Chains A and B, each alone.
Chain A
């Protein structure tokens, strides 16, 4: 009986309440950075390029709508606290028709775009012949420790999951919400 009580206490311990059993899902996962994407013609490239990161700061606009070299301050996101980066997510806020050529692929990098974070690649788009409805979520999970004070960047290129099936173009992706998640 006593052993059963001990087992019960262990099962109902605090992490259960937090809905947190591992890095990432729910509980202590937080948004590290997010914004509305307004794709720019400069995002429509076939291959990742360290001269082509999302501009995430020092811009005249509040959304992310431009590209800059990955080694300048405008491309850098950073955290004053060390953080485990856990996920990259896009929620569709602008619908696309099934004939659209809009699709983007995003990846996170460090060291001014020279080092890709393993697993942090999100290929977002509806897929051949499919439409993209508001509320659809594209996500990829990973674990990467970002030490306090260090920066990361977001690179972008054409995805390959557009409704038209081929010749996908990132600048036609529409205005969507992109977020990077982590656990401090």
Chain B
């Protein structure tokens, strides 16, 4: 009887992942990157926004990453986002949580083809940053070329702990060889932040 009890407890002990009801199916994007404690990974935040409308007049994004971040909470105009007020230090342009979390994944998805897609003058690079109250920006992971097109994903696989006094922002810049970031209004991008609460 005692042996049975030990066996039962051992079974419960060593099968804890099964309790998490986590099944990895072939074809899941998870297959390429499974963070530690992936069974506790949740969607932390999702936002969409209307990109710039007429790029020639805007300097929101330039050749080097500057102090601007994608708008995460602001009012969304049908005409596209306004070029000003995109500072990463603004509460509307970063994600911040009341508990520390491990940021495991940032995914940028465009939903349709914008007028600038494929144009040599419109290519952008994208990166993820932490934002401090004083405006210090620290890149998380390497910057990437922004994939633009129907359903195309740009994925950052990460494992960075973010305390409550830091926010997470997303930045763009003009890619090498391009002249301006025409961020493709009508591409309707959506951004997801995934992570694990600490």
Category for how many chain A residues contact B: 35 or more
A93: contacting residue among B6, B13, B45, B167, CB under 8 A: B167
Task: Kindly supply a per-residue 1/0 record for chain B positions 69-108, scoring 1 wherever the CB is within 8 Å of any chain A CB and 0 otherwise.
Answer: 0001111100000000000001110101111000000000
The verdict on B133 contacting chain A, using a C-beta distance below 8 Å, is yes
The stretch of A105-113, A152-160, A173-181 that contacts the partner chain? A173-181
* CB nearest to B164 among chain A residues: A135
Q: Which residues of B contact A91 (CB under 8 A)?
A: 96-98, 164
Measured CB to CB, the nearest residue on chain B to A59 is B75
CB distance from A136 to the nearest CB of B (A): 8
Q: Is the CB of A95 within 8 A of B97?
A: no
Contact call A62/B2, Cβ cutoff below 8 A: no
> Digit string of A1-34 for contact with B (CB within 8 Å is 1, else 0)?
0100110011011100110000000110111001
Q: Which residues of A contact B74 (CB under 8 A)?
A: 61-63
Q: Are B12 and A13 in contact (CB under 8 A)?
A: yes
Find the B residue at minimum CB distance from A95: B133
Number of B interface residues in the complex (CB < 8 A):
36
Q: Are B2 and A36 in contact (CB under 8 A)?
A: no
Q: Is A98 an interface residue (CB 8 A)?
A: no
B188 at interface by CB-CB < 8 Å: no
Contacts of A164 in B (CB 8 A): none
Q: Which residues of A contact B91 (CB under 8 A)?
A: 36, 93-94, 174-177
When the two chains form their complex, are residues B9 and A9 in contact, meaning their CB atoms are under 8 A apart? yes
> In chain B, what residue has the closest Cβ to A28?
B40
- The residue in chain A whose Cβ has the minimal distance to the Cβ of B198 is A26
**Residue B42 lies at the interface, judged by CB distance under 8 Å to chain A:** yes
* CA gap between A38 and B72 in the complex, in Å: 13
Question: Bound complex: CA of A13 vs CA of B70, how far in Å?
Answer: 43
A-B contact count (CB 8 A): 92
Q: Is A35 an interface residue, CB under 8 A from the partner? A: yes
Checking A6, A10, A175, A177 against B98 with a beta-carbon cut-off of 8 angstroms, the contacting residue is: A177
A5 touches B197 (CB 8 A): no
Give Cα A14–Cα B163 distance, bound, in whole angstroms: 26
Q: Which residues 42-74 of B sit at the A interface, judged by CB distance below 8 A?
A: 42, 44-45, 47, 72-74
**Bound CA–CA A133/B132 (angstroms):** 11
Q: Mark B1-20, 1 if CB is under 8 A from A, else 0.
A: 01001100110110010010
**Contact status of A179 and B97, CB under 8 A, knowing A62-B76, A94-B91:** yes
Complex Cα–Cα for A175 and B96 (A): 12
Find out whether the CB atom of B47 lies under 8 angstroms from the CB atom of A9: no
A-B contact pairs, 26 of them (CB 8 A): A2-B6, A5-B6, A6-B5, A6-B6, A6-B9, A9-B12, A13-B12, A26-B198, A36-B72, A36-B73, A36-B92, A38-B92, A61-B74, A62-B74, A89-B98, A90-B98, A91-B96, A93-B167, A94-B91, A133-B133, A134-B132, A135-B133, A175-B91, A177-B91, A177-B97, A179-B98
Other 12 A-B pairs with CB < 8 A, given A17-B16, A36-B72? A5-B6, A10-B9, A14-B16, A36-B73, A38-B92, A61-B74, A63-B75, A91-B96, A137-B98, A139-B98, A174-B91, A179-B97
Q: What 9 A-B pairs come out closest when comparing CB atoms?
A: A135-B165, A134-B133, A93-B91, A89-B98, A91-B98, A14-B16, A175-B91, A36-B73, A9-B9
